[in-house]
Structure 1
Amino acid sequence: MNEPGKPRGRRPIVGEPVLDRAFRLLTAFGADDAQLSLTALSVKTGIPISSVLRLCKKLADLGMLERTGEGTYVIGLKLLEVASLAPRGHGLRAVAMPFMEDLHKATNHHVLLAVRDHDEAVLVERLSAHEAGRIMYRIGGRVPLHSTSVGLVLLAYADPELKEEILNRKLMLEPEGQDLPSGELRARVAMVRQQGFSVVSRPLPEPATSVAAPIFDRGQQIVGAMSVLGPMGVMEPRVVIPALVAVARAVSRAVASGSTGPNVSSG
């Protein structure tokens, strides 16, 4: 006999709220799974297909999902509408965008804006250049703190407790598949705090260099990080860093003036 709360076959956890199951369905979608069938959703979430069908119909009625002509499901526009109200994402993006556009035109490289969400970063905006090379992360995608320039900046200025918790983890560089020693990460974080910016170069998916600088609020709490990314050997950090730091400071002044509206402090 199964213990209370334990999964029984493919049935959902006993007493699992409908809202939790609906959230699991929505988060089953991703960059490589933007369109999913009922069967695929059932397999990915462990929710019985009959329940998946019922939940998907309701979510589609609410505009959270949309049903395609092939009978599969995609994320609905209602979620985009709701997400656009997030002050830490689109609020910061709104005030930063004019500055990002100037930086993008001046450098002709990718310009990224990210915020921290617990122990990861979320990319909230990206301006791309045709000749700036491939980029690993999409808008709305999650970015590791320990191995990206925006991540290192957000980690360097994070709460001491969270910083120590991450620094004590066993971490790996992706997609290189290499271990990242704690001592090396500590040195990188300390350097970011000392210099006020980060520089990261990596060979995969193709050789690229990225530099990032912090954005602060009125209380000098970090609310985001902005970076410039381009092909290694083409994008010169010593040339880009002064402009990036100046732009990040300009955005910080705009944030401090209250241009973003509701609180945009990091999570």
Structure 2
Amino acid sequence: MIVVEKSNIEDIPYLHLVKEEEKSQALPICFFIHGFTSAKEHNLHYAYYLAEKGFRVVLPDCLEHGERATGKSEEELGSVFWKIVLNSIHELSILKGHFEKKGLLMENGVGVAGTSMGGIVTLGALTQYDWISSAVSLMGNPSYVKFAKAQLAHLKSAGYQLPFSEEEVKAILNELSHYDLSLQPEKLKGRPLMFWHGKRDKVVPFHLTEEFYKSILPAYEGNEENILFVADDKADHKVSRDGVIKLVEWFEKHLSA
């Protein structure tokens, strides 16, 4: 039987799924990060499939989402999008440390995945943490600076008054560059990485993700089984059932003990 526990660590609400009989064992663990305006409960199907395969799965609520929502509108949330992303990256370390101290984390067995904003968090986390053993980005984007510039350009063209000065924008872009995987692909170090992206995605640009994937292929020469890009011709900004299954298969192959 799979148990679902609701808990908190340092003000981070999360759901924890694991097979009841393996609850106190050290297991490979997967942290799954939800998308923008979503919440941890919306990804329970991923967690269930992963827990069935013997993984410990942790679904946190990001800042300003789920139990941490403060009533901000989608527009207001958009203005702090990158703050939420970077905060989520930092909180991954807190969550990992919590399970490590309890002896529930298997060495070299940490996976990180997420949808949309969660995929963006996943790719940024790879620049910060060597302890991530395998990762899956569903509709994510590694090119933080390019994506942020595109977001700003879109807002300006729509006549939206930016809440940042030019100097503040420069400071934000400079900070994002430290988490931008496209600017430091060497930090991947050949780790297993899977991308899933719909070609019709109008929210997170497909071409930026594909562009990055193609740029890192030479680094995986001789180690091609560790890199995968799944492009869905028909999908927009929604993961297909096939995408869900492929994520589970990826972690089965690259994260199991």
When the two structures are superposed, what TM-score results if normalisation uses the length of structure 1?
Answer: 0.28
Q: Which has the higher helix share?
A: 2
Structure 1 or 2, whichever has the larger Rg, is 1
